[in-house]
């Protein structure tokens, strides 16, 4: 895809250490701002219900947050392969090179989605993102007790279906009473403590409850300081890192975050434009993003109001998942985080987006599962729908082509794409086979 509006203003992004964030609770009465560290601000809020070429590489630099919360400067895995002295056995293409998989999944995610309430939008976003990678890539990214026990049934591989998600149990919460008390009141805390204790009683059957307990146990959510689980993207990252450590996959998964202040630009608008370009680039490669930002204000009828806001600090915030965009306007599309909003223009909802997060399963191969059933036959998700093949390229000794294998079983030969390899040689950027040439190269 081409990014029609932004190409003329793209600058290389510089890695920085700030992490800007938003916090969500469903009806926050005392909107305001409190500092959590020198550079991270929680915004109290209220949420409403192609083929690759060499030009696809080397676009973005990102900041990796490892599980110990240390920051490591490292380029994005989409960057050019390193110069090597011997040919590697293969190039493992990221699963995310098949963007229609995530569109199929998130568009079908409705009734199985955990209920988004009481400020838990960050936890719901985690559940959405990990469920996608579990059911479409590798089941081991979710604790096994939270996988759906029943299969997802389809009439044909191209049928629409109700996407599976990590299991949860709905619990009602008395919004009207809580809103009348105010979030900082003793009455609110008593109401929420009752809700929280009910969720802890569901620990074996609710992934959201599991995430709550993980956050509390690790000090990510201090329940003495905040009764509700309102979170920001920095906390979302910490939860993901701790979870991956518990699942023994922290060496196989990287968590990347980026916010507006990490970008160079002479104005705030140019920084936002550079961040948006990176977001569109990642979505175009099929990577869903967890995004955080401020919501538009609402009128008395509950409709979002368009227009300029003088003071954005008092705006409500929200965290959800973006997985598509409109090419002309470059508006982000995605899941609102509510069961009725599986495919929406998120710019109708967000006044501005402050930061985003994505995952890279760089050392975890796709493993077939039998969570789907088509006409009585168990099948893996990689056979569903239409998709652009996600290839692993293997050298076959030819100076002109290598062999591509897609996880769905498709095999095809493809011409090498050459690049300089030292002074005397060239190699294929996909399979890394060293190619013969007339030397020296000019």
| Order of strands across the sheet that contains 344-345 | 71-75, 61-65, 254-259, 350-360, 289-295, 317-325, 332-335, 344-345
pLDDT at 423: 67
Does 371 map to a domain? no
pLDDT of residue 432: 80
Give how many domains the chain has, as a whole number. Answer: 2
Verify that 393 and 328 share a domain, yes or no: no
351 and 408 belong to one structural domain: no
- Nearest Cα to Cα of residue 125 among 5, 22, 36, 221: 22
In a domain, 377, yes or no: no
Whether residue 345 is found in the same domain as residue 395: no
Q: Are 272 and 352 in contact (CB under 8 A)?
A: yes
End-to-end CA distance of the chain: 32
Domain identity same for 28 and 121 = yes
Asked if 73 and 16 sit in the same domain, the reply is: yes
For 259, the 3-state DSSP assignment is: strand
Residues 207 and 334 in one domain: yes
If asked whether residues 175 and 73 sit together in one domain, one would say yes
DSSP H stretches of helix in 254-401: 268-284
**Last residue of some domain: 339, 360, 381?**
360
DSSP 39: S
Do 170 and 107 share a domain, yes or no? yes
Tell me which residue range forms the domain holding 256.
7-86+96-360
**What is the distance between the alpha carbons of residues 248 and 263, in angstroms, rounded to a whole number?**
33
Residues 6+ apart with CB under 8 A from 432: 81, 84, 87, 88, 90, 91, 395
Give the residue carrying structure tokens 């998942």: 321
In a domain, 337, yes or no: yes
Q: Residue 13 has what pLDDT?
A: 34
Domain assignment of residue 239, yes or no: yes
Same domain, 348 and 439: no
Nearest CA to 189 among 224, 227, 222, 225? 227
The reply to whether 367 falls in a domain is: no
Cβ–Cβ under 8 Å, residues 387 and 166: no
Distance CA 46, CA 183 (A): 11
pLDDT at 54: 27
- pLDDT at residue 35, rounded to an integer: 31
Flag residues of the chain having pLDDT under 50: 1-99, 438-442
Q: What was the pLDDT predicted at 7?
A: 33
Tell whether 366 is covered by a domain.
Answer: no
Distance of CA 77 to the CA centre of its chain: 15
| 416 shares its domain with 286 | no
Q: Is residue 330 part of a domain?
A: yes
Does 1 map to a domain?
no
For residues 102 and 288, give the distance between their C-alpha atoms in angstroms, rounded to a whole number.
Answer: 7
Q: Is 287 in the same domain as 189?
A: yes
Please check whether residues 356 and 394 belong to one and the same domain: no
């Amino acid at each position: 895809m081409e990014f029609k509006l932004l190409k003329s203003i793209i600058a290389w992004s510089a890695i920085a250490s700030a992490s800007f964030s938003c916090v969500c609770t469903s009806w926050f009465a005392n909107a305001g701002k409190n500092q959590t560290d020198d550079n991270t601000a929680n915004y109290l809020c209220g949420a409403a219900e192609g083929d690759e070429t060499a030009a696809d590489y080397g676009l973005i630099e990102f900041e990796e947050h490892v599980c110990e919360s240390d920051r490591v400067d490292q380029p994005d895995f989409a960057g050019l392969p390193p110069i090597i002295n011997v040919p590697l056995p293969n190039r493992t293409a990221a699963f995310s090179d098949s963007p229609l998989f995530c569109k199929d999944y998130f568009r079908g995610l409705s009734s199985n989605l955990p209920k988004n309430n009481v400020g838990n939008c960050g936890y719901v976003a985690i559940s959405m993102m990990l469920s996608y990678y579990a059911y479409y890539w590798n089941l081991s990214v979710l604790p096994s007790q939270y996988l759906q026990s029943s299969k997802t049934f389809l009439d044909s591989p191209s049928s629409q279906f109700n996407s599976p998600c990590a299991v949860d149990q709905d619990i009602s919460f008395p919004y009207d009473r809580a809103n009348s008390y105010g979030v900082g009141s003793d009455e609110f805390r008593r109401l929420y403590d009752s809700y929280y204790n009910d969720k802890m009683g569901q620990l074996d059957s609710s992934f959201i409850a599991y995430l709550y307990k993980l956050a509390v146990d690790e000090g990510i959510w201090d329940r003495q300081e905040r009764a509700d689980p309102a979170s920001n993207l920095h906390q979302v990252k910490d939860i993901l890192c701790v979870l991956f450590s518990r699942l023994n996959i922290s060496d196989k998964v990287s968590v990347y975050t980026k916010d507006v202040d990490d970008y160079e630009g002479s104005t705030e608008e140019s920084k936002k434009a550079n961040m948006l370009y990176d977001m569109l680039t990642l979505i175009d490669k099929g990577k869903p993003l967890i995004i955080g930002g401020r919501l538009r204000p609402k009128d008395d009828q509950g409709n979002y109001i368009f227009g300029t806001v003088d003071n954005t600090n008092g705006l409500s915030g929200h965290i959800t998942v973006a997985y598509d965009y409109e090419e002309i306007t470059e508006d982000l599309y995605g899941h609102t985080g509510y069961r009725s909003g599986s495919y929406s223009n998120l710019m109708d909802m967000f006044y501005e987006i402050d930061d985003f997060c994505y995952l890279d399963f760089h050392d975890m191969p796709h493993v077939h599962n039998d969570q789907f059933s088509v006409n009585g036959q168990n099948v893996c998700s990689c056979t569903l729908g239409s998709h652009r093949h996600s290839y692993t390229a293997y050298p076959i000794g030819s100076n002109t082509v290598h062999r591509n294998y897609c996880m769905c079983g498709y095999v095809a030969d493809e011409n090498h794409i050459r690049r300089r390899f030292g002074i005397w040689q060239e190699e294929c950027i996909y399979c890394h086979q060293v190619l013969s040439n007339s030397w020296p190269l000019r």
